Structure 1
């Protein structure tokens, strides 16, 4: 998918192209050779088709110009002490890689061309130094243009490039963020780079999720609580130029594009992606707020990729997030994009088929497995507990009460309602199947309920008291 270059980068490159370079003086000073200068001048400031023909007729010569040969330095090595020349050469190489696809393949065939550029990428942490930024653009064009999935590219060069691009996406400058995200997109051309991107997710994925959370109107700290409670986005979305948190529509689109590319690995990473970032819930909220058809298309397509490949684990979460009702509401929208309409129909069919065959018990299991409880109908329904309490305790050798214990162990500082709900459920289990209280006690549930009686939150204290009442009642009744 072609995207216009970020404005910040285009402006920087344009300024460097216009700077006069004293080439003859550089040759006299030994900064570059006559042969190197001749090749530079042959393609500098000439028409695109002329430039393309010249380079294609001398691919080996231009490969040597930029990455050298045994016994021959590249122009970047020769001119390493002249910042103005290095900047100019990097911009020129970037232009050639864009207009002459064969050049990237010729450079890659040389062996390990990345070793010439990676030191430039790491030469400065100063965001005002253009050389690392220009180098990243060259590396991305080189790797993406050749679709390089060699061990050298994936295991050696790509981790360094991703780390550098991550520093851009975490920058407060929207222009640098835009560059980092678009260059990510260029690199996710195959399964191998996508897997490496996920491997470095604390650097790569996490900052992008923070951008999406800001767009959804929630901060990173209280994201899950706000999303589950339905309060996210109350001040966020508009049909203007930005969403919540000041996230521009262009940046949002590019982040969604990267996440969509990553979602093609959903079969292997989908569960972890949701466990770590609540991605199904977040995407449902963003879909609710999406102001443009192109962002809606990426949201729907990503959700479809995730749910198709992780039906047992993520379809219950999608139902809890109220995605089915949202999709029904979106049926009234007249979308022009046929791919979006098709994906939306497939997503509705997938969810409809799931909900048709699932019981209230299945919904409860799905909520427990999501790791985040909310006041959904089963929790307060005495009939539900009368019919299902024993089944919940005995299900898969106690897997559900083990999951409940895991949820209760967390402090839930940003969503105390989860603890109140868990205490509510424990109380029902003790009252309906008192003979199983030993099993619950061995999991530490009684001890945790007693601890929660000291919580500052009034609802948690009340529900923990009610839960403990079940244990006390049973004790008195058996004396």
Structure 2
């Protein structure tokens, strides 16, 4: 089996970053072309396109493509391939939604205050996406609240959980069913005052109905 066939036939999962690494370090034009062609072929799958384009951008592929476009190439197919990938990755960057960025921040294990946490518009538009893959994002958020040692991450995490409860019609019941109430109540005694504050606000949302919370304002 040729090198190109081997790259092409391998399944997408776990392949993107090794291929990007090859495009970064390859000295031989053929090796570079095969790796980049394989990445382009992966993007032909419409169902996987957005996720894979996002992973490629995160892996630094677009920067590599831009840099490699400045080189001279003996293989006449490479410049066209670079132009195609440049277009596809620019489109991928534009298509990355604020929720994609939020999920990536969450998976990094570190949270910081920003629009995706504090904007009501973000939560109104994206709260239903927390249900995807058996509430994967929500479960990840709860795990972060349970295990993180960073005060800012804990404060932002409690705030986000509170936002989910506020904007999802069944939010407080879903969070309670996942032990969220117990996890957040433990943080009410945290030494950091911002963590205490956000944990208290979150527990209030869990325990009180939206009507009662509106009355208390």
Cα distance in 2 for residues equivalent to 1:443 and 1:420? 25
Q: 2:98 aligns with which of 337, 347, 361?
A: 361
Q: 2:115 aligns with which of 352, 375, 383?
A: 383
Q: CA deviation at 1:463?
A: 10
2:57 matched to 1:319?
yes
Matched with 2:72 is 334
Q: CA deviation at 1:442?
A: 4.8
2:202 matched to 1:471?
yes
Q: Deviations over 1:357-406 (max 9, x none)?
A: x25425327748xxx82379xx53432231312333223x7227812145
Matched with 1:430 is 161
State TM-score, norm by structure 2. Answer: 0.64
Cα distance in 1 for residues equivalent to 2:86 and 2:204? 47
Question: After superposition, where does 1:21-420 map in structure 2 within 5 Å?
Answer: 185=1, 257=3, 260-265=4-9, 269=11, 273-274=12-13, 277=14, 279-309=15-45, 310-356=48-94, 358=95, 360-361=97-98, 363-364=100-101, 367=104, 373-374=107-108, 380-385=112-117, 386=119, 387-395=121-129, 398-399=131-132, 402-407=135-140
Secondary structure of the residue aligned to 1:380 is coil
Q: CA deviation at 1:311?
A: 0.9
Question: Gapped runs of 5+ residues in structure 2?
Answer: none
Cα distance in 2 for residues equivalent to 1:428 and 1:338? 54
1:389–1:428 contact (8 Å) kept in structure 2: no
Question: Gapped runs of 5+ residues in structure 1?
Answer: 1-184, 187-256, 454-460
Q: CA deviation at 1:327?
A: 1.8
Q: Do the aligned partners of residues 360 and 421 (structure 1) sit closer, same or farther apart at CA in structure 2, a change above 3 Å counting?
A: farther
Number of residue pairs matched by the alignment: 196
Which structure is higher in RCO with an 8 Å CA cutoff and minimum separation 6?
2
State TM-score, norm by structure 1. Answer: 0.33
Q: CA deviation at 1:439?
A: 4.7
Indicate the structure (1 or 2) with the bigger Cα radius of gyration. Answer: 1
Secondary structure of the residue aligned to 1:308 is coil
